[in-house]
Amino acid sequence: MVKSANRLSTRSTSTSSILRRHISGPSTTGQSENNETDQRCPTAVAGRGDAKGTIGICCYDFLSTTLILSEFSDFLSYSRLLSKLETLAPDEVLIPASNNSVTERVRLTDAISAHHTQIKLVNLHRKYFSPEHGREQLQKLMTNDRGQFLLHRLDEKYYCTSACAALFRYLEHQYEMFFFEKSVHIQVQNSEKCAFFDLASARYLGILVDFASSNQCGLAPGFQSLYSILQATKTKMGAR
């Protein structure tokens, strides 16, 4: 991946911290590793017409250079999408802006804002959400290992591939980030045979965040949450 740091200084002050952290250079000794693992910029897409209720997500993990793709059917409350965002812990969510689906976009925006107040929502024109362009990007950027197999799995997943197209265009034109060919690892996730926790329970039980160490929920410092047990690793890749 190549980035142009000199030209970024001309951008407005609203530039997301997700990229500032990425281009700020090597981390200092006292910097928390949690800051690095949060460097992600996902895209969410709500289906229309016959596919109404279908959600496609594309998320790029800066730490592991992995592109995560997921597409699933969701409810009107967007409960599965909200659970997915809780797992990804993004800084920004890109959503399609279209005059043909204002009500759907408002409902999606309100659902994300109500449950994830720390997430910055960015509206992109729907013309950038192109499944054809997204598939071309995947063919060009994905590593050779299992590439054809993953592309076959994405044959009819139009919404996550369209999210991929919008995400790479956003990174390229907003932040001037470019990727070498065959440099991105692809991971396709599905929601089949998965158990879903409501967000309040997942947060209180410390499934994704070590509340004991962050002194939240009034838990004692010695409290062993599920996250704190699984997080006891020696390397960054082990933590991933």
DSSP 33-59: HHHHHT-EEEEEEE--GGGTTEEEEEE
What whole-number distance in Å separates Cα of residue 124 and Cα of residue 126?
Answer: 6
Provide the 10 A C-beta neighbour count for residue 11.
Answer: 13
Q: Which residue has the higher pLDDT, 146 or 86?
A: 86
Are residue 167 and residue 120 in the same domain, yes or no?
Answer: yes
Are residue 186 and residue 225 in the same domain, yes or no?
Answer: no
Q: Are strands 120-125 and 92-97 parallel, antiparallel or unpaired?
A: parallel
What whole-number distance in Å separates Cα of residue 202 and Cα of residue 87?
Answer: 10
Are residue 94 and residue 118 in the same domain, yes or no?
Answer: yes
Q: How many structural domains is the chain composed of?
A: 2
Are residue 141 and residue 205 in the same domain, yes or no?
Answer: no
Radius of gyration of the chain (CA): 18
- Residue 123 contacts residue 166 (beta carbons within 8 Å): no
Give me the mean pLDDT over the 231-235 stretch.
Answer: 67
Q: Are strands 54-61 and 120-125 parallel, antiparallel or unpaired?
A: unpaired
Of the pLDDT bands very low, low, confident and very high (cuts 50, 70, 90), residue 17 is very low
Q: Quote the percentage of the chain above a pLDDT of 90.
A: 21
What whole-number distance in Å separates Cα of residue 54 and Cα of residue 160?
Answer: 10
What pLDDT was estimated at residue 227?
Answer: 63
Whether this model's pTM surpasses 0.75: no
Are residue 115 and residue 221 in the same domain, yes or no?
Answer: no
What whole-number distance in Å separates Cα of residue 184 and Cα of residue 25?
Answer: 21
Of the pLDDT bands very low, low, confident and very high (cuts 50, 70, 90), residue 36 is very low
Provide the 10 A C-beta neighbour count for residue 208.
Answer: 17
What pLDDT was estimated at residue 213?
Answer: 53
Provide the 10 A C-beta neighbour count for residue 137.
Answer: 21
Are residue 141 and residue 215 in the same domain, yes or no?
Answer: no
Are residue 43 and residue 102 in the same domain, yes or no?
Answer: yes
Which phi and psi (to 5°) does residue 41 adopt? -135, 90
Which phi and psi (to 5°) does residue 61 adopt? -95, 110
Are residue 208 and residue 172 in the same domain, yes or no?
Answer: no
Are residue 59 and residue 72 in the same domain, yes or no?
Answer: yes
Are residue 142 and residue 236 in the same domain, yes or no?
Answer: no
Cα separations (Å) of 143 from 1, 62, 179, 186, 203? 13, 16, 12, 8, 35
What pLDDT was estimated at residue 43?
Answer: 78
Q: Is the pLDDT of residue 35 over 50?
A: no
Are residue 88 and residue 129 in the same domain, yes or no?
Answer: yes
Residue 228 lies in domain:
197-240
The CATH number of whichever domain residue 54 belongs to comes to 3.30.420.110
What pLDDT was estimated at residue 237?
Answer: 64
Are residue 150 and residue 225 in the same domain, yes or no?
Answer: no
